[in-house]
Amino acid sequence: MATAQTAFEPVDALLRAWATNNRIDVYLIGNVPEEAWRAKPPNGKGRDIASMFAHMHNVRLMWLKSVDKNAALPLKLEGETCSKEDAVSALRESAAALDAVLRKALSGDGRIPGFKPGAGSFLAYLLAHDAHHRGQVCMLARQVGHPVSKSAGFGIWEWGTR
């Protein structure tokens, strides 16, 4: 006897991917060696790892503000002073706020104010932006002599278990 199978729900699937992406960001923060968190890039130019995660959150805020100019936004992060705990908390807040924006757009007309290609492309942009900076974080940690562990490096790809 066949059992009833739940229909595929694209909106839920896309939002689960967004939630997993954020959990991967948080996982990486937890696996960045303390010595690497504030280490300056070898050439002295560019962001340190703390500032990269602050930037990721702050870009999310920029988009949230663009979508709804009157929305109550999470607080901006200052890269120069943020701790790992601050970064985790901020990313969770901005991810939840963007989840609401994405849910509304993906369940509605697919439009994101200020982002002409629409909700699907907006989600892809957000995922690509975070992934780009995760790569930078791993590279900078290695360059400053405090690499992310091999298991954590593989762990950022374990989307089925994160």
For the chain (162 residues), the mean pLDDT of every run of 10, in chain order, is 75 97 98 98 93 98 90 93 98 97 95 93 98 98 98 95 87
Ordered by where they begin, the domains of the chain are 16-155 (1.20.120.450)
Contact 103, 4 (CB under 8 A): no
What gap in Å lies between CA 120 and CA 139, rounded to an integer? 29
**What is the pTM for the complete model shown?**
0.93
C-alpha dihedral (34, 37, 43, 44), degrees to nearest 10 = -120
Q: Say which residue the tokens 């939002």 belong to.
A: 15
